[in-house]
């Protein structure tokens, strides 16, 4: 299991709240009470298709639990073999875990990492009682899940009838991914046109277009950019550095309005964000120390602007709006322009658009599913726009292990649109990423990125791996 440790550090620094993340104060992993907390959290994360259990942090504030720091060496106390043995003893089917350590204020904290890929719901196979035998800490034959409280905050609890639909959906989606890998492996030598025809019959890539929703998405791009310009002018006296940008607008193809712009709605989306990267799409910035970066309600929608330009590496220019009517907008500066690179030549890393587009699609799906829209009948229309591309060179700087022949763009702006069914499995997401990014790559001297590379990079993003 290869985990992006930079992502874990970002979770701690930003005090992230999500269904695939749980924080607990320091516990003794050898005591019955400590074992019960580990078992419940690990099973719940596994049933949520993977996640991370941070130990040594207050559940509410997400701040280090310094007063209860163990005397014993943390790495010795939270030994992988011992924790894996405990999980395997109580969980069925068994699954693999990993343990990483993240540093905060000079101290190390363990993170139990649970891998994705659940195909059958995990249950407890035996009970656990306290030393006196009076209190039942773990019940036998119990399924634990990550769920949302009434106020939209995540928690671990026993599965109820409300959780089974999501749990079975996750299992079937992973099994569908297995089928897709089987088909691709055995049809790898089949003519490409035959394979594409087969895929078109399995997954609807015809992109039956709703002109009205595409027009709405295009309008959302323009209105979002205008709002960004206004907010920047109001909040930042100094002019932002010259930079290229990419934007995404997402429209839910439904007339239903289920929510209003209140804290519960923001909690719901924040908790539903899979947080695939260290700086996720539609990032919840309520935990930031900079009050100016906190989201606020404007014109019946949540919005925020986050500008950070003083870091040696992790700089950001972000603006987003989330409208409860089912409209999501994001503006983000190209990382190529706000990290310390050689600015004598404007560049575009070829892999980053795959990560960002893939994450946009995946987070959009997660948001809309959490909002309760009908999976089989709802579509999402996405519009992407890249700006300031003229004379930019396509290269590979984010991953030095990759090499690409440099090509230069003449065109300055690229726009692309995809219609994504809410029922799309994660295993098929790369197909839509491929469609959304093709127009971008083509302006670089007709460049076409291999679909297999798009699939590889998309799956790395979904797996939170570098």
Q: Each residue of 337-378: pLDDT tens digit? A: 887 666 668 999 999 999 999 999 999 999 999 998 988 889
**Last residue in a domain, options 165, 200, 223:** 165
pLDDT range class, residue 237, cuts 50, 70, 90: low
Contacts of 339 (CB under 8 A, 6+ apart): 313, 315
Task: Tell me whether residue 195 is in a domain.
Answer: no
More confident call, 166 vs 394 = 394
Judgement on whether residues 154 and 268 belong to the same structural domain of the protein: no
Indicate if the pLDDT at residue 460 is higher than 50.
yes
| Mean pLDDT score, 206-234 | 83
Indicate if the pLDDT at residue 291 is higher than 50.
yes
The reported pLDDT for the residue numbered 185 is 54
Indicate if the pLDDT at residue 195 is higher than 90.
no
Indicate if the pLDDT at residue 61 is higher than 90.
no
Task: Tell me whether residue 184 is in a domain.
Answer: no
Q: What is the pLDDT of residues 307-325, one digit of tens each?
A: 888 765 578 899 999 999 9
Judgement on whether residues 151 and 240 belong to the same structural domain of the protein: no
Judgement on whether residues 317 and 446 belong to the same structural domain of the protein: yes
Task: Tell me whether residue 196 is in a domain.
Answer: no
Judgement on whether residues 248 and 148 belong to the same structural domain of the protein: no
Judgement on whether residues 284 and 355 belong to the same structural domain of the protein: yes
Counted domains in the chain: 2
Judgement on whether residues 128 and 215 belong to the same structural domain of the protein: no
Judgement on whether residues 237 and 149 belong to the same structural domain of the protein: no
pLDDT range class, residue 176, cuts 50, 70, 90: low
Structure tokens at 126: 């035996």
Judgement on whether residues 160 and 226 belong to the same structural domain of the protein: no
| Mean pLDDT score, 205-230 | 80
* Structural domain range at position 156: 5-165
Judgement on whether residues 148 and 239 belong to the same structural domain of the protein: no
The reported pLDDT for the residue numbered 455 is 93
**Last residue in a domain, options 165, 199, 226:** 165
Task: Tell me whether residue 63 is in a domain.
Answer: yes
pLDDT range class, residue 198, cuts 50, 70, 90: low
| Mean pLDDT score, 182-195 | 55
Judgement on whether residues 341 and 227 belong to the same structural domain of the protein: yes
More confident call, 166 vs 225 = 225
| Mean pLDDT score, 108-121 | 91
Indicate if the pLDDT at residue 207 is higher than 50.
no
Residues above pLDDT 70, as percent of the chain: 88
Judgement on whether residues 122 and 262 belong to the same structural domain of the protein: no
Residue length, the chain?
466
Indicate if the pLDDT at residue 226 is higher than 70.
yes
Distances (CA, A) of 454 to 193, 384, 443, 457, 459: 18, 17, 17, 5, 9
Judgement on whether residues 228 and 134 belong to the same structural domain of the protein: no
Indicate if the pLDDT at residue 244 is higher than 50.
yes
Indicate if the pLDDT at residue 193 is higher than 70.
no
The reported pLDDT for the residue numbered 199 is 54
The reported pLDDT for the residue numbered 358 is 97
Task: Tell me whether residue 174 is in a domain.
Answer: no
State the chain's mean pLDDT as an integer: 87
- Look up the CATH number of the domain holding residue 72: 3.30.950.30
The reported pLDDT for the residue numbered 354 is 97
Least confident range of 67-81, 227-241, 440-454: 227-241
Residues above pLDDT 90, as percent of the chain: 58
**Last residue in a domain, options 165, 198, 230:** 165
The reported pLDDT for the residue numbered 149 is 73
Task: Tell me whether residue 182 is in a domain.
Answer: no
Indicate if the pLDDT at residue 258 is higher than 90.
no
Task: Tell me whether residue 206 is in a domain.
Answer: no
Task: Tell me whether residue 198 is in a domain.
Answer: no
């Amino acid at each position: 299991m290869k985990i992006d440790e930079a992502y874990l550090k970002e979770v701690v620094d930003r005090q992230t709240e999500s269904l695939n993340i749980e924080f607990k104060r320091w516990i003794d992993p050898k005591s019955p009470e400590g074992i019960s907390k580990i078992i419940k959290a690990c099973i719940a994360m596994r049933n949520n298709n993977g996640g991370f259990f941070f130990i040594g942090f207050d559940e509410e504030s997400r701040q280090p639990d310094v007063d209860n720091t163990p005397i014993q060496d943390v790495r010795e106390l939270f030994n992988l073999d011992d924790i894996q043995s405990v999980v395997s003893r109580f969980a069925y089917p068994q699954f693999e875990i990993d343990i990483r350590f993240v540093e905060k204020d000079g101290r190390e904290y363990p993170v139990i990492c649970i891998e994705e890929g659940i195909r059958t719901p995990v249950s407890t196979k035996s009970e656990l009682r306290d030393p006196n035998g009076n209190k039942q800490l773990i019940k036998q034959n119990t399924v634990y899940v990550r769920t949302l409280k009434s106020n939209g905050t995540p928690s671990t609890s026993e599965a109820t009838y409300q959780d089974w639909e999501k749990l079975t959906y996750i299992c079937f989606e992973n099994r569908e991914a297995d089928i897709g890998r089987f088909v691709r492996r055995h049809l790898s030598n089949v003519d490409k046109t035959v394979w594409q025809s087969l895929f078109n019959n399995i997954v609807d890539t015809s992109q039956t277009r709703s002109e009205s929703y595409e027009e709405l998405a295009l309008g959302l791009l323009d209105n979002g950019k205008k709002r960004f310009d206004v907010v920047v002018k109001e909040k930042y006296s100094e002019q932002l550095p010259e930079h290229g940008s990419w934007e995404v607008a997402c429209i839910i193809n439904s007339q239903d309005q289920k929510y209003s712009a209140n804290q519960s709605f923001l909690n719901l989306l924040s908790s539903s964000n899979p947080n695939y990267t260290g700086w996720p799409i539609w990032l919840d910035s309520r935990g930031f120390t900079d009050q100016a970066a906190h989201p606020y309600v404007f014109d019946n929608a949540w919005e925020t602007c986050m500008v950070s330009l003083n870091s040696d590496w992790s700089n950001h220019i972000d603006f987003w709006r989330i409208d409860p009517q089912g409209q999501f907008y994001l503006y983000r500066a190209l990382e190529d322009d706000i990290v310390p690179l050689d600015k004598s030549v404007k560049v575009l890393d070829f892999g980053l658009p795959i990560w960002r587009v893939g994450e946009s699609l995946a987070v959009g799906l997660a948001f809309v599913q959490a909002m309760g829209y009908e999976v089989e009948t709802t579509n999402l229309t996405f519009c992407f726009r890249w700006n300031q591309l003229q004379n930019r060179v396509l290269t590979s700087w984010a991953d030095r292990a990759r090499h690409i022949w440099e090509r230069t763009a003449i065109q300055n702006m690229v726009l692309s649109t995809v219609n994504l069914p809410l029922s799309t499995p994660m295993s098929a997401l790369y197909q839509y990423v491929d469609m959304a990014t093709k127009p971008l790559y083509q302006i670089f001297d007709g460049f076409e990125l291999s679909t297999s590379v798009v699939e590889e990079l998309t799956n790395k993003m979904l797996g939170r791996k570098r």
